[in-house]
């Protein structure tokens, strides 16, 4: 059996092909809710994908998706951009990627430009606490945000795709506690973003459950004065934070970095201070970027299922009424050589 056609969807839903076209192009002002639901169910049942190549021939405009990321200086967001492009290519769709440095004003301006280019929807790679500027855009096109939990009702109208950030740090704590560590630090830039807040929460709750000392060490923003969120200088902020970790009141024997880029910086900083990893100090990152396996020693980390997350985000944009409004993905602990039992 070949790929389902729009006529197949129309037949299954009991409507005309023009109704399917209106649904796919968000022209549903006169469409009854039960009709929309029938069409959404038929699209999902048949696995129908819009033929954007045909649409381009008809309109002269290629289908496009906008992707906003904090900064491509963080290799995780470069990987995310590649994953979104791979997902969009299955729909014959292009991706326009912009670094916004988590500036709401810049994000708003970029989104307005993207709409003028006729994008099908917008994906933002990491969400700030305040998502009002994203929510205001949902009346004009579908918007999907990474790092918002599907259960968070305050972000109404925004599609949500996220790894379970609290579970990621909880798994890291559990791994270190099982090795025998009784004092652990979580190192993070100022937690202005939703994913960082969730990671801090998961860390603190897991440390309390394990009955161990859990200390949050803030990387000093003055180490990256032009970047208060730390996205462009994560390595340097991590390197500079190494001395603060070793001087923390709870005397941690292990650290969890908020992401791999910062973990790699911490590793370099610890070595510069004469510490060996993992003999003297254990270290864990989050994301499983390419360089984590090349770290010396290879970095234990929490992997995000980045391609599956990108696939879900693009589907939410290009088939918004057939896809789930929100999905929460589980992280995977990748144990390498940067963690070991503490010295006694």
pLDDT of residue 192: 79
Q: The CATH number of the domain where 100 resides is what?
A: 3.40.50.2300
pLDDT of residue 40: 82
Domain that residue 124 falls in = 59-164+306-330
- What mean pLDDT comes out for the span 283-308? 95
Residues 184 and 277 in one domain: yes
- What mean pLDDT comes out for the span 65-87? 91
Residues 70 and 13 in one domain: no
Q: With 70 as the cut, is the pLDDT of residue 227 above it?
A: no
Dump pLDDT digits (tens) for 126-156: 766 667 777 777 877 888 988 877 766 666 6
Q: Is residue 341 part of a domain?
A: no
| HEC sequence for the chain | CCCCCHHHHHHHHCCCHHHHHHHHCCCCCCCCHHHHHHHHHHHHHHCCCCCHHHHHHHHCCCCEEEEEECCCCCHHHHHHHHHHHHHHHCCCCEEEEEECCCCHHHHHHHHHHHHHCCCCEEEECCCECCCHHHHCCCCCCCEEEECCCCCCHHHCCCEEEEECHHHHHHHHHHHHHHHCCCEEEEEECCCCEHHHHHHHHHHHHHHHHHCCEEEEEECCHHHCCCCCCCCCCHHHHHHHHHHHHHCCCCCCCEEEECCHHHHHHHHHHHHHCCCCCCCCCEEEEEECCHHHHHCCCCCEEEECCHHHHHHHHHHHHHCCCCCCCEEEECCEEECCCCCCCCCC
Residues 186 and 233 in one domain: yes
The pTM of the full predicted model, rounded to 2 decimals, is: 0.79
Q: Is residue 321 part of a domain?
A: yes
Residues 143 and 265 in one domain: no
Residues 170 and 290 in one domain: yes
Please tell me the total count of domains within the chain.
Answer: 3
Q: Is residue 336 part of a domain?
A: no
Residues 245 and 223 in one domain: yes
């Amino acid at each position: 059996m070949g790929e389902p056609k729009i006529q197949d969807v129309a037949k299954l839903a009991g409507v005309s092909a023009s109704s399917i076209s209106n649904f796919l192009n968000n022209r549903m002002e006169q469409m009854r809710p039960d009709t929309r639901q029938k069409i959404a169910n038929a699209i999902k049942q048949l696995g129908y994908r819009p033929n954007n190549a045909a649409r381009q021939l008809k309109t002269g405009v290629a289908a496009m998706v906008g992707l906003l990321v904090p900064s491509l200086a963080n290799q995780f967001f470069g990987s995310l951009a590649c994953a979104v492009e791979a997902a969009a290519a299955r729909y014959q769709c292009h991706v326009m990627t912009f670094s916004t440095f988590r500036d709401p004003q810049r994000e708003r301006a970029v989104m307005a430009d993207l709409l003028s280019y006729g994008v099908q929807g917008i994906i933002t790679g990491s969400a700030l606490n305040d998502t009002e500027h994203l929510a205001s855009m949902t009346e004009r096109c579908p918007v999907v945000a990474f790092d918002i939990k599907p259960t968070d009702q305050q972000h109404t109208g925004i599609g949500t795709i996220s790894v379970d950030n609290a579970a990621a740090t909880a798994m890291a704590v559990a791994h270190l506690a099982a090795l025998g560590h009784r004092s652990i630090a979580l190192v993070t830039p100022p937690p202005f973003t939703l994913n960082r807040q969730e990671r801090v929460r998961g860390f603190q709750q897991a440390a309390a459950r394990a009955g161990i000392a859990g200390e949050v060490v803030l990387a000093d923003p003055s180490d990256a004065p032009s970047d208060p969120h730390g996205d462009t200088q994560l390595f340097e902020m991590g390197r500079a934070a190494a001395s603060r970790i070793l001087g923390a009141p709870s005397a941690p024997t292990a650290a969890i970095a908020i992401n791999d880029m910062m973990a790699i910086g911490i590793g370099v900083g610890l070595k510069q201070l004469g510490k060996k990893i993992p003999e003297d100090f254990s270290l864990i990152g989050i994301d499983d970027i390419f360089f984590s396996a090349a770290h010396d020693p290879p970095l234990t980390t929490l992997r995000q299922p980045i391609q599956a997350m990108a696939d879900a985000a693009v589907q939410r944009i290009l088939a918004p009424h057939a896809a789930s409004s929100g999905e929460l993905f589980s992280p995977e602990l990748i144990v390498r050589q940067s963690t070991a039992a503490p010295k006694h």
